[in-house]
Structure 1
């Protein structure tokens, strides 16, 4: 079992059901989590370094005061996670976070600086990106239905093949950002421009 105050190195955690459990001060390094249920779990002041999560349920997980560095999530459910509760040291800008084919609906990245964030084939309905700095991130093949962008730094972000975003070009920094041609027409809506065929 996983115990508070312990350190785990290069371990595999498979099919663990720790729903609603609470942990403090654990350090995970180079660990892999497969098909685990950590929904509603609390990881307080923990560290996740070079870890991988595959097909895990992490919905409503609380990462209060925890640090993540080089963490990859693949085919995970991460609904309602408030990423702003984690500890993101200000001297760092690229934490090497990667999400692939994940569901991140109702999550919050409010006010975070996460350069080079990687989101690939993710569902991001009603996710809060306001006031954040996500320069040089890759957000490709994602669904941004009702996601919020306001005073967000999206310079050089790659939105190729992503859909359903509503980004006001006057309220966000978009210099050098990439959009698929057809979907980029959504950007004109914020300017009140009507397109006629």
Structure 2
């Protein structure tokens, strides 16, 4: 079970929405706080500027949904499916994901700092220009993942598999190359210098 930073418990919910059919619904502008969404179908739903704060999503299908400038702050996601979902400029600060699937997930911009994704299968997911400061990616299965221009400063990456991933432009200062799988990953020259330095090597131009 994924845990929040410092072991804080998940927020208690006050209302429940169960087995609702929100397929293709426009959720723009909606505001939900401490709501439990159970087995809700949000396939191909869309949102812009919606707010979900301290909500719990259990068995929710976000498949092929599209979200822009929407906040999912300090939320809990359990056994949710994000197949081909797209999040642009969204905020997931403090949210935790447990036993979710992320096939073909696309994230562009936004703030995912302090998220909990330990052990997550991210092999076909794409994160571009996203803030993921102090995110928990311990043991993440990200062979083939795209992490382009991602701020991973302070992130927990112990035992993560980033082999064959595209990591160019991302902050890898918190990465320990001795405990992260990086075989065939694509990096840029500044990142190569960072990794060499983390390994205790001296990089010289002469």
Matching residue within 147, 159, 166 for 1:151: 159
Structure 1 residue ranges without an equivalent (≥5): 89-93
Native 8 Å contact 2:17 2:36 kept in 1: no
The answer to whether structure 1 residue 39 and structure 2 residue 47 are counterparts is no
For the residues of structure 2 that align with 1:50 and 1:99, how far apart are their CA atoms?
A: 13
Native 8 Å contact 2:162 2:185 kept in 1: yes
| Shift in alpha-carbon separation, 1:160–1:131, aligned structure 2, 3 A | same
Q: Secondary structure at the match of 1:27?
A: coil
Q: Secondary structure at the match of 2:52?
A: coil
Structure 2 residue ranges without an equivalent (≥5): 1-15
For the residues of structure 2 that align with 1:167 and 1:145, how far apart are their CA atoms?
A: 9
TM-score between the two structures when normalised by the length of structure 2: 0.85
The answer to whether structure 1 residue 63 and structure 2 residue 77 are counterparts is yes
> Map of 1:13-162 to 2, 5 A cutoff?
13-83=27-97, 85-88=98-101, 95-162=103-170
Deviation at 1:196, TM superposition (A): 4.5
For the residues of structure 2 that align with 1:75 and 1:188, how far apart are their CA atoms?
A: 33
Q: State the match for 2:175 in structure 1.
A: 167
Q: Secondary structure at the match of 2:196?
A: helix
| Shift in alpha-carbon separation, 1:164–1:132, aligned structure 2, 3 A | closer
Deviation at 1:3, TM superposition (A): 4.0
For the residues of structure 2 that align with 1:141 and 1:51, how far apart are their CA atoms?
A: 24
TM-score between the two structures when normalised by the length of structure 1: 0.89
Q: Secondary structure at the match of 1:33?
A: strand
Native 8 Å contact 2:17 2:35 kept in 1: no
- Aligned-pair Cα RMSD in Å: 1.8
Q: Secondary structure at the match of 1:186?
A: helix
Native 8 Å contact 2:44 2:63 kept in 1: yes
Deviation at 1:87, TM superposition (A): 3.4
For the residues of structure 2 that align with 1:173 and 1:100, how far apart are their CA atoms?
A: 24
- State the aligned residue count: 190
Native 8 Å contact 1:140 1:160 kept in 2: yes
